Amino acid sequence: MPARSDKHSNTTQLPLSKDLPMTADAILKDFSHYFGHMLGRRTISADSPFLYQAVVFAARDRLVERWGKTRDAMESKDNRRVSYLSLEFLMGRLLRNALLNLGIEDETAEALNRIGLDLEDVYERERDAGLGNGGLGRLAACFLDSCATLKLPVLGYGIRYHYGMFHQRIENGHQLEEPDSWLREGFPWEIERIEFTQAIKFGGRSNTYTDKGGITRYQWVDTQDVLAIPFDVPIPGYENDVVNTLRLWSAAATDGFDLDEFNAGSYVDAVAAKNAAENITMVLYPNAETENGQELRLRQQYFLASASLQDTIRYWALHHGDDFSEFAEKNCFQLNDTHPAVAVAELMRLLMDEHGIDWDMAWDITRNTMAYTNHTLLPEALEKWPVSMFRRLLPRILDIIYEINARFVAEVSQRWPGDNDRIRRMSLVEEGSEPMLRMAYLAIVGSFSVNGVAALHSKLLREGLFRDFADLWPEKFNNKTNGVTQRRWLAACNQELAALISEKIGNGWITDLTQLSQLAALADDANFQVAWREVKLHNKQRLAANIEAKTGLKISTDSIFDVQVKRIHEYKRQLLNLLHAVHLYDRIRRGEGEQIVPRTIVIGGKAAPGYAMAKNIIKCINNVARVINSDPMMAGKLQLIFYPDYNVSGMELICPAADLSEQISTAGKEASGTGNMKFMMNGALTIGTLDGANVEIREAVGAENFFLFGLTVEQIEALRGQYDPQVIIDADDDFKRVMDLLDSGHFNRFESGLMDGISQAIREPADLWMTAADFRSFVDAQTAAAEAYTETENWTKMSILNTAASGQFSTDRTMREYNDDIWRLLPIELDSD
Ligand code: 62N
């Protein structure tokens, strides 16, 4: 191939040698080269990190070839592209999915076999890339997989945290947080791109001057700059030769950083002070819903927004110079919640201050490129920042937000003259002793699209949280129900079920999940049912081994695996699950053991380190678990497991093994849920409330294949103000006994008072989560589920029907909808097409 010159910039392209073969021979040869020559190792032992690294390098070479071709195809077309801005990408492990998508899992396994190694052991060496808290971060990762598979030109922009989501250790039932130094042995997937480094401004002040044309312009001066260095991670599509990019920014000090603040004698101190800059990307904030206001967090948000926008504009200038007339046609920024919402003001600043564009044109561009996705209905979780903090850290950005607000308020008062209350409600600035910026409102005002993540959630946004804005701009609001990628959440994590499905209906479901509906015709087939149960049993055995390795507890696979894994939060109601566990314990103790269907309850999830109630819930679960698991009366009937350090890799073992999926949030509180979809896809039945995407799951699978319980959103709202949990408890003997057990000290013999907090929370008339209100219907639905489980053939049928009906919960569908309604991208056309 001849060297190719680039018409836009003064560069030439290095011709790649012939494409690398995808054979076991070639993979083994490359592996040996990396292990022996590059990493300089000779001794092969299964648990060596270098072995894992050498396998990654061999795979990465094959990705890099396709990466270059993808880039060439995009550059030659200059088509519209999307930047997905997210503070979190919860990628998990990458090797198995990379090999699956490249179509070389068998060849790589064969290559390693020849030198006596097992690819499965190599997979186990990889640490999770835990750059996210939970659903929001994992959704971003699933989106990237689907976009690459659909050949959509979507670039992920995030932060390369040095420390990802903390590891959870359980000691005497308490959660202890340990740092996740996931980069310590290196992250062989990434490629550092120092050539695209950007400078990010902080502090200083904003200044006006008059330009050559006599126009007043603004300048942000006397700043302390921090460098943003990008690290690229390849994102392969499924067997389509597309490789997209996840670009993660890492902070570094500039050479001049702070040096002038020290005298000549303090050179060493001055260099040490570079830490302040580099701290920006040190650690992921582990808050899943609230806890706001940390200055370092605002720095992270602005750092991501500014670096990513500058990178986009740098690329734009390569092709278009200073002509921004088509910028909005060719670019779109999808904001993953309000975390990167400061991008609205930052794009205004870059266009005006750095590129000389006037306000009206800059605003036109901004409002036609930004799109905002909301992920929460909890009003207390909406991000707000003190104006004073913005003034200190981002003075020029604050100017711009004030100007946006002034023009916006004028628009509102023109539409509703004299409606001062409405203006106060809608203002981007919340007045008070400490004025605050409302980031969700900034995102709405600055975007052309605002979406929720499940049908119910989007409806509640329009009618509740964002009602005033939906009145003003109804056309902006839309729904995009979440999904999950079936490549990771079925094909890779449940290979036995995947093989069984493909044997019957072919493997088209891997890129078209709706094909799973063909399984419905087999739901009554006796032989298929036997095979289906066999796979579930193997997956339960695999999880049992994993739980024993982690906790030392042996669990019985001859029981319902009843699973709730997700972040610990009051609205998700792990407490309701615990009440049911105590109720079963109580029944068995009172001699009803014969009537109890054996059950293993698994609860897993992390609590935000500052969320005392969530940490207390973990402790209480562990205390109840210890009593249950050590009581001989419970043997063969009931076990309660707290799964420690739940993460992406944990879910890959858990969701294939579950019989019953707990989705039990208070109606109107869970935006969507995505774990619910992973469980359904793997043949679990759901016990759930009418909340988030549960509503759509139940519609898809049919009410008869779903265990519904609990109050609806409307009933919850109607009950507020007259809710009296004590009356509910007193009227229900089962509930009374459960509360008495909790209050008696039975589960906390030497820890007096431990259960008081949760007991009081359940009895609290102002309990936002109304746990007691749903106790009876939850217990009844659990009883129905247990009875259904004993009818093995019918249960298997329902399980198959759940998988069969999960087709719409693929992120392939979600991404098609984003693309049809918001992004309007053309697929990447490779030369080979
Ligand atoms: C989840 F700003 N949200 C939803 F730092 N948030 O709860 C779930 F405080 O219902 C959805 O299915 C899912 O998004 C995907 O749409 C969620 O995971 C966070 O992780 C989060 C992280 C940080 C913050 C706030 C929320 C912070």
Can you give the three-state secondary structure of 736-775, one letter per residue?
Answer: HHHHHHHHCCCCCCCCCCCCHHHHHHHHCCCCCCCCHHHH
pLDDT at 261: 59
Minimum CA distance residue for ligand 1 atom 14: 136
Known catalytic membership, residue 459: no
**pTM of structure:** 0.97
pLDDT at 618: 98
Known catalytic membership, residue 567: yes
pLDDT at 291: 61
Minimum CA distance residue for ligand 1 atom 17: 136
Known catalytic membership, residue 736: no
Using 50 as the pLDDT threshold, list the residues of the chain that sit under it.
1-8
pLDDT at 272: 82
Backbone angles phi, psi at 272, to 5 degrees: -60, -30
Known catalytic membership, residue 457: no
Catalytic one of 96, 125, 297, 375: 375
pLDDT at 6: 44
Distance CA 830, CA 231 (A): 24
pLDDT at 267: 81
Sign of the CA dihedral running 714, 716, 721, 725: positive
pLDDT at 2: 40
Cite the DSSP H helix spans in 632-683. Answer: 648-654, 675-681
pLDDT at 263: 54
Catalytic one of 96, 297, 457, 678: 678
User: Pocket around ligand 1: residues whose beta carbon is below 6 Å from it?
Assistant: 133-137, 139, 285, 287-290, 339, 375-376, 383, 453, 482, 670-674, 692
Catalytic one of 566, 569, 573, 599: 566
Contact (Cβ atoms closer than 8 angstroms) between residue 453 and residue 670: no
Known catalytic membership, residue 572: yes
Give the end-to-end CA distance of the chain in Å, rounded to a whole number: 19
> What is the Å distance from ligand 1's center to 515 Cα?
30
> What is the Å distance from ligand 1's center to 675 Cα?
13
pLDDT at 229: 98
Q: 449-452 and 477-479: which strand pairing?
A: parallel
Token output for 82 = 């999307």
Report which residue type is found at 173.
G
Looking from the CA of residue 482, the nearest atom of ligand 1 is 16
Known catalytic membership, residue 566: yes
HSE-CB of 556 using CA atoms within 13 angstroms: 15
Looking from the CA of residue 132, the nearest atom of ligand 1 is 20
